Amino acid sequence: MRALKPLALASLAGVLPLVLTGGVAPAAGHTGLSGGWSGMWLSGTTASDTTSVVTTLKQVRTAIGADTGAAATLTGKGVGIALIDTGVAPVPGIPAAQVVNGPDLSFESQSPSLRYLDTYGHGTHMAGIIIGNDAATGTKGIAPGAKLTSIKVGTSNGAVDVTQMIAAIDWVVKNRNHDPANPIKIISLSYGTGGNPEVWNDPMTLAVQQAWKAGITVVAAAGNQGNGYGKLTHPAQGTSVIAVGAANTYGTTTTADDELSAYTNLSSNGRPLDVLAPGTSIPSLRVPGSNIDLTFPKARSGDTLFRGSGTSQATAVTAAAAALVLQARPALTPLQLKYLLINGTYLSKGVAATLGTKEINVSMALAGPAATGSGAIGESTGTGMLDTTRGSSRVSADGVQLSGQNTLFGPFDTTTWSTRAKAQTTWSGGVWLGYRMAGDGWTGTSYASKTWAPATWPGGSWGGTKNWTDPSWSGRAWSGRAWSGATWSGRFWSTDDWSTARWG
């Protein structure tokens, strides 16, 4: 098996690169973070390190205008949010009655002890920002009344292929009304590929566009490679999303000192950020024993919280804010909601002032007029090359990269897929494009209020293995409050050479 690269060189190929500040290095002996998830884990060990000044979720709610007037009573009740991420662990701050486990489409779905659960620590952090309720600290999510459907695609080291993401988006579109009282109206995507595809034929773009057309607002992270990177990560590059950058709020509730974070991607190709949201040094729910918990112990905040920064966090804040607005104004289309959130609070400092990119404000969105017109854009054909979408974000099995027009299981016919995606027929029960990825309905069991059934994947991987079992899963178990074991590694992982992490 190919050795994993040291964490100090890793970024998340699907989980975007981590950034440490305050001179903190990862704990010795832990390797294996990869993927493209837009989260960064900070220590905040020095008072002069302004990027690590904690901004609590209560402060975030104030900063985005969600705790005054009509906004103050909103909880997101009646609004469903799909979190396509690394799963959610049932830590005490997760209200299980408000969580639905959709199909686990990750490699770890093949392990009964890991299935649906967050081994990485990223998805639970996002869930905490959205619906968390941590009694130990009084920390509450921005939309604590929303219903969260978790679709796990990422493993303990962030490994995920773009075809798994496309399948997840397809599933959400197909099953958006699985709970009529809480229809899925928002997708929160902290994922970004290393590719730079043409949006007119890109499969990922078409998948997102079909969600948008189905009335689902897609909120996507812009990426963490920095203001000078020259592009947003994908799918934030497309227009059928709300592309989110992170604001540094410096631990205050006033927006007068807020500014664009230095780690947020900016584009030089004409695709600007849509909005900013608080995303720097946000304490949210910790998953004890998860990969990031073991790797960045100084990011822990007490026993139940963990501090992180990135456009991931800003995306979760924006998705939750969108749920508040939709609770009050459920007839809004994704385009109308996008324009209302774009017209937020003007920031008078730094790059954000120059660009005119505003910070989201729920009260202003509630009061603003709904845009008229369709805002129609050209639809992607969906027939482009997957490797162009992947870029250098490649998932590997025993050192063999997945490439070409292939899913994990076999060929990906873009013409067939695009036709079926537009008709919302890529999924039949738990079979996607003829490939068995999950069970056929809501007959699974987990801690959540409802769970989609699992399935054993047929055959073996493209890397030559006879089955999908990973030897590293042996001995791994969720004890009820923490993961057992000392390190995370695995047979399946993602390349990390498509972007560069910054380390303090």
The answer to whether 122 is a known catalytic residue is yes
Catalytic residue of the set 11, 67, 104, 122: 122
Identify the residue whose tokens are 């003829």: 434
Element (H, E) at 414: helix 414-422
Tokens at 238, concatenated: 């497309």
Closest by alpha carbon to 401, among 271, 496, 280? Answer: 496
The angle at the Cα of 102, spanning 128 to 337, to the nearest 5 degrees, equals 60
Catalytic residue of the set 111, 312, 380, 446: 312
Please answer whether residues 489 and 1 qualify as being in contact, where contact means their C-beta atoms are separated by less than 8 angstroms: no
Long-range contacts formed by 416-419: CB under 8 A, 24+ apart: 417/166, 417/203, 417/382, 418/203, 418/206, 418/381, 418/382, 418/383
Neighbours of 136 (CB within 10 A): 11
Q: At what angle do helices 162-174 and 203-213 cross, to 10 degrees?
A: 20
Please answer whether residues 9 and 406 qualify as being in contact, where contact means their C-beta atoms are separated by less than 8 angstroms: no
Identify the residue whose tokens are 């409802």: 450
The answer to whether 312 is a known catalytic residue is yes
The answer to whether 125 is a known catalytic residue is no
Catalytic residue of the set 30, 67, 85, 284: 85
What spatial distance separates the first Cα and last Cα of the chain, rounded to whole Å? 31
Q: What is the rounded radius of gyration, in angstroms, for the C-alpha atoms of the chain?
A: 20
**Residues annotated as catalytic (active site), given as ranges:** 85, 122, 312
